[in-house]
Structure 1
Amino acid sequence: MVGFFVFKRKSTRHQHGGDPEKNEPLTLRPIASGKFNQLRTISIISPTAKEGLQKTVSMNLKPPSKIDLHKSFDENDLTNKPVLAKNVDLSSIRATAYTVADLQMATESFSADNLIGEGSFGRVYRAEISDESDHKVLAVKKINVSAFPSKPSDFFIDLVAKISKLNHPNLSELDGYCLEHGQYLLAYEFYRNGSLHDFLHLSDGYSKPLSWNSRVKIALGSARALEYMHETCSPSIIHKNFKSSNILLDNELNPHVSDCGFAELIPNQELQESDENSGYRAPEVTMSGQYSQKSDVYSFGVVMLELLTGRKAFDRSQPWPQQSLVRWASPQLHDIDALDQMVDPALEGLYPAKSLSRFADAIALCVQPEPEFRPPMSEVVQSLVRLVQRSSMGSVLSGGESISRRYDNSGDYTF
């Protein structure tokens, strides 16, 4: 018969001090038989060399307290999904691998205060990462898993590998990525001046409007980015979602095209149903849903129209004939008098007339209804370079002005 005992330590200390664990007398009391049902038994095999010896210890067990997960991550992500995809090749990725903990700390737990915006793929947060030698401000995209096809982890790694190889001064640069606990995160360099769309269409009450030289510089840099994607990358890359909100501006107002390589993540139907995107959509895309380099060229021409007029690509607040920027502006691009009336009033007439006319000529070619009549981006780049050279706009090629719309007196970033 095996006896069951519990050891109860006396509540008073030994009168002469010392270690109570060693010196305190113990009282052994049998447990009433009626209490056996309240106990659970765990069998522990003793590591001693005595064969067949088994010690049985009885104790009350309580379930562990529920982990308080951060609200940014659901329970299923942390418990049911692998930390990292198995059998994926990370050697081809040219970017830093961050942990979820790194980015959660850098974004203050993905707080609303650090939310920059929300796009087709998910939310974007401002992040600050510091170490002993460096301090970086990043824009972290938290991509919705619903954006991925089957085998999302493999697809994400392939996407990161492709994006990390893009290298052009006018593309938004990928700094790092994170694939943990079912989270898909991309970290990009942060551009404090926001997007071209914000600069043109959102007045903050204190920013100066873009000068004509800055507008030409932004057009030229963006054209070079598309030229690189179309004609240098192999295989070539179609942007598919080129618009002013995907052109980010740094402190010197140099453009950096974002969301490059994301075309596979955007359903054609989603692009076609969006009011914002409808103004950038080439006619053949509306008809067939097929995107190409020439549809990117069309979208680029629409962005040039935004730079020229200061109007949105599609604006329901305008009278119906003027809601579509291309439909309203195209017939007037070769009319000098009408062109002067179309120019963004914020420029206050401060632009060279010949430069304006050449800019309009380039737009007219890009927004041709038939894709075969649109030029390749390399020709668009050359036409803008000639425009700069003939107009003696040396500052456009050498750097130009610096304007900031994203700072306060403390020097910190604000939104």
Structure 2
Amino acid sequence: MRMRMWVLLLLVLAPSSVNGDTDQSHASALRIMYQGLNSPGQLTKWTSNGGDPCGDNWKGVKCSGSRVTEINLSGLGLSGNLGYQLTSLTSLTNFDMSNNNLGNEIPYNLPPNLQRLNFAGCGFHGSLPYSISLMTSLKYLNVAHNQINGELQDMFGKLSSLSTLDLSFNLFTGNLPESFSLLSRATDMYLQSNKFTGSIDVLADLPLKNLNVANNKFSGWVPSQLKNINLQKDGNSWNSGSAPPPPPGTPAGGRNHGNMSPSSTKNTGGVNGGVIAGIVISILVVGAVIAFFLLRKRSRKAHTDVEKMENQPFASLASEPHGIQELKSVQASIKAFEIPSSVNLKPPPLERHKSFNNDDISAKPPKKAPTNAMSYSIADLQMATNSFSADNLIGEGSTGRVFRAQFEDGKVVAVKKINSSAGAGIGISGVLSETFMDIVSDISRLRHPNVTQLVGYCCEHGQHLLVYEFLKNGSLYDLLHQSDECSRKPLTWNDRVKIALGAARALEYLHEVCLPSVIHKSVKSGNILLDSELNPRLSDCGLASLVPDADQELDSIAPEVSMSGHYTIKSDVYGFGVTMLELLTGRKPFDRLRTRSEQCLVRWATPQLHDIDALAKMVDPALKGLYPVKSLSRFADVIALCVQPEPEFRPPMSEVVEALVRLLQRTDMSKRTLGNDVRPHDG
């Protein structure tokens, strides 16, 4: 009886809306989104303070229990932005904001577990955010009829669930990314009315039913696999005539992308081509070995016979019954196992040995052809740099010197001349220049707005050079620590956060988008270059193998690296934290001119990062106190996480990016700058 009374009392006292209460993080994200959209009246029942999205049936919002699962606000004439807490919507599977006036960049911090994302016709510009590349559940992506530009990054490797991709009517340029070949469930793809170039071979093995590539700048031949689907291809520069036959070793029916799906290999009579090739090659190898030992044995016997017949006339080779006859027998046996012309097989290249003559160099496997990189002659680069004169020297690092180069047509680039000692451990010399070509090929595939773009390369006469885009504002190190303080304006607080965010996005791309992950190994302010609008570009990406561990600067590397010499993505995070400290304080990572206790920046600054009063005294004097205090404090919190001594406690770069995005958006919203009377409760 008492138990029933307690239950009844609880039911009476319990709030009537308990079943409708929305998860607080979800409700907060929608309120901030409402504010970002300028609190429009067409979003009925939405509020910026309080309210219950699930319980009060906010327009366009669907929930499961207390968690928001769908947002559909298509065609409502909305304007503004989507706020900065979208990543909190972890249960959201359908997000449709199509046909609104959101003319800005697509927000970086999107809901992570989306299955359908529709941003068509929103007036977005800029590039696709890399957070999309981490949406492993995404099945439908539509960003058509926007103004998104630039090259598509290689960001589709994890999107194996994607079935529909619509990028039509934008301003995309460049070749289709190789990771398109991993879209193993793609059935519908719409790429029309862009500025794509190159071939569409990367789409050959996809299970496409509908493909529209019309009105681009594609060239080459349309793969035969795509001719039996609903294909629209007008408005391109296709080659006429029949396509050339596939190169030797290419599986019948398609290209070999390296990561082939099980369905791309077909059995023939129960034994596939790979097994046949293995058997035939094994027989050939065994036959060759037998022939070698038979000839060797006979040659020894022949040598003995020659000694016995020293005074007799030399017998002709044709009359010698030993060796030649048996060799013919072996050749006949091998010929019996010759590969039929209908089987297109290519044996693996022979392993090179030092005893081989240089004339045998043609037996080596071909080098990988660099993608999107031009081959320059050493003569061209000498003319453009005035024979690499000191007047054109703009930088120097452990891998080599960097020169400004200007060609006759006025184009300016930066040329990195690799030191002869760089990469000695991996053999960048002589016939092993293929290693350098492999590096060039890998670097040329790195495509990100915050990574310096490789323009070309030179590999001649023992010289190895890399040609990059030229960035007129130089490095962040020079801008922060230049001796002539009057030559440039100091960086504002927002500039510093913007630079940190761009560099963080570059590292996130290398660590979490590239497959396999790319460890930079030398993350520092000297390797962060700035364009005319102070947008950062991380340089020297992909050159880690050329940098000897001993050459790394001890003032900016992680503690575990100085102990073991072993680099990981976590040691990159540490280097990024040191760079953030430079942005915060304006100090060098190591400064011998300071007192002993302040020479090492990390050691001096780390104990003070959570002390607001000490933090205010650490800030770069060039800022003259113009910064929001809360923004400064949050910036310091991110630094503290990145420079932790234990690598396992340092955050992944995606979390750093998310924190900096929130910080920058809150700073923009507050629009406050404070004087020297900094107070913790302001900002």
TM over 0.5, yes or no?
Answer: yes
User: Is the 2:370–2:437 contact (alpha carbons within 8 Å) kept by the matching residues of 1?
Assistant: no
User: Does structure 2 retain, via aligned residues, the 8 Å contact 1:195–1:245?
Assistant: yes
Q: Secondary structure at the match of 1:350?
A: coil
Give the C-alpha shift of residue 393 in structure 1: 5.9
Q: TM-score, normalised by structure 2?
A: 0.44
Deviation for aligned residue 1:281: 1.0
Letter in 1 for 2:613: D
Written as runs of structure 1 = structure 2, the 5 A alignment for 1:65-214 is 88-131=366-409, 135-148=410-423, 149-150=426-427, 151-204=431-484, 205-214=486-495
Deviation at 1:197, TM superposition (A): 0.3
Measured at CA, do residues 338 and 352 of structure 1 come closer, stay the same or move farther in structure 2, by a change above 3 Å?
Answer: same
Q: In the alignment, which residue of structure 1 is the partner of 2:648?
A: 372
> 1:192 offset after TM fit, Å?
0.8
Cα offset for 1:87? 5.4
Question: C-alpha offsets along residues 340-369 of structure 1, whole Å, 9 cap, x if unaligned?
Answer: 000000000000111101100100110111
Matching of residues 5-404 of structure 1 within 5 Å: 88-131=366-409, 135-148=410-423, 149-150=426-427, 151-204=431-484, 205-271=486-552, 277-392=553-668
3-state SS of paired residue (2:395): strand
Distance 2:591 2:470 in 1: 28
Shift in Å, 1:130: 3.7
Q: Deviation digits for residues 364-415 of structure 1, max 9, x if unmatched? A: 11011111111000000000001011222699xxxxxxxxxxxxxxxxxxxx
Cα offsets for 1:256-284 (capped at 9, x unmatched): 0001111111111221xxxxx22211111
Q: For each residue in 1:199-257, what CA deviation from the matched residue of structure 2 results, as whole angstroms up to 9, or x when unmatched?
A: 00013222111110100000000000000000000110001111000000100000000
Cα deviation for residue 145 of structure 1 reads: 2.4
**1:146-184 residue CA offsets vs partner (Å, 9 max, x unmatched):** 213225411110000000000000011100001111111
Q: Distance in 2 between matches of 1:394 and 1:124?
A: 41
- 2:114 is aligned to none
Greater RCO between the two (CA within 8 Å, min separation 6)?
1
Does the Cα contact within 8 Å between 2:370 and 2:440 map onto a contact in 1?
Answer: no
Does structure 1 retain, via aligned residues, the 8 Å contact 2:371–2:444? Answer: yes
CA distance in 1, matches of 2:468, 2:490: 26
Matched residues in 2 for 1:288 and 1:113: separation?
Answer: 39
Distance 1:243 1:393, change over 3 A: farther
**2-side partners of 1:306 and 1:377: how far apart?**
18
Given residue 316 of structure 1, which amino acid in structure 2 is its aligned partner? R
Between 1:85-94 and 1:198-207, the stretch displaced more is 85-94
Question: Cα 1:143–1:394, aligned 2, differ >3 Å: closer, same or farther?
Answer: farther
Structure 1 SS opposite 2:421 = helix
Residue 129 of structure 1 contacts residue 137 of structure 1 at CA under 8 Å; is this kept in 2? Answer: yes
Q: How far, CA to CA, are the matches of 1:375 and 1:210 in structure 2?
A: 27
What is the alpha-carbon distance in structure 2 between the residues aligned to residue 87 and residue 138 of structure 1? Answer: 32
Partners in 1 of 2:367 and 2:432 — Cα distance?
A: 14
Q: Post-superposition, which runs of at least 4 consecutive aligned residues in structure 1 deviate over 4 A?
A: 84-87
Give the letter aligned to residue 330 of structure 1.
Answer: T
- Which residue in 1 is equivalent to 2:299? none
Query: Which consecutive residues of structure 2, in runs of 5 or more, have no partner in the other structure?
Result: 1-357, 672-683
Instruction: Supply the AA of the counterpart residue of 1:101.
Output: A
In structure 1, the residue corresponding to 2:495 is in which secondary structure?
helix
> 1:31-54 CA distances to partner (integer Å, 9 max, x unpaired)?
xxxxxxxxxxxxxxxxxxxxxxxx
C-alpha distance 394-100 of structure 1, shift in aligned 2 (>3 A): farther
Gaps of 5+ in 1: 1-80, 272-276, 396-415
Deviates more, 1:223-232 or 1:107-116: 107-116
Distance in 2 of aligned mates of 1:292 and 1:385: 25
Instruction: Give the alignment's Cα RMSD to 1 decimal.
Output: 2.0
Q: Secondary structure at the match of 2:556?
A: coil
Q: Cα distance 1:311–1:367, how it changes in 2: closer, same or farther (>3 A)?
A: same
Distance (Å, rounded) in 2 between the aligned partners of 1:239 and 1:393: 34
Residue of structure 2 in register with 1:17 after alignment: none
TM-score, normalization: structure 1? Answer: 0.71
Paired amino acid for 1:309: T
How far apart, CA to CA, are the structure 2 residues paired with 1:394 and 1:180?
56
Q: Partner of 2:407: helix, strand, or coil?
A: strand
Q: Residues of 2 paired with 1:152 and 1:107: CA distance?
A: 27
For 2:480, what is the secondary structure of its paired residue? helix
Report the AA paired with residue 249 of structure 1: L
Contact 2:368 2:438 in 1 (8 A): no
Note the alpha carbon deviations across 1:295-335, whole angstroms, 9 max, x for none: 11011001000000000111111111111111100111111
Residue-pair matches, total: 306
Give CA deviations for 1:59-92 in whole Å, capped at 9, x if unaligned. Answer: xxxxxxxxxxxxxxxxxxxxxx99x997542534
**Contact 2:503–2:538 (8 Å) recurs in 1:** yes
Distance (Å, rounded) in 1 between the aligned partners of 2:624 and 2:432: 51
Report the residue type matching 2:390 in the other structure: A
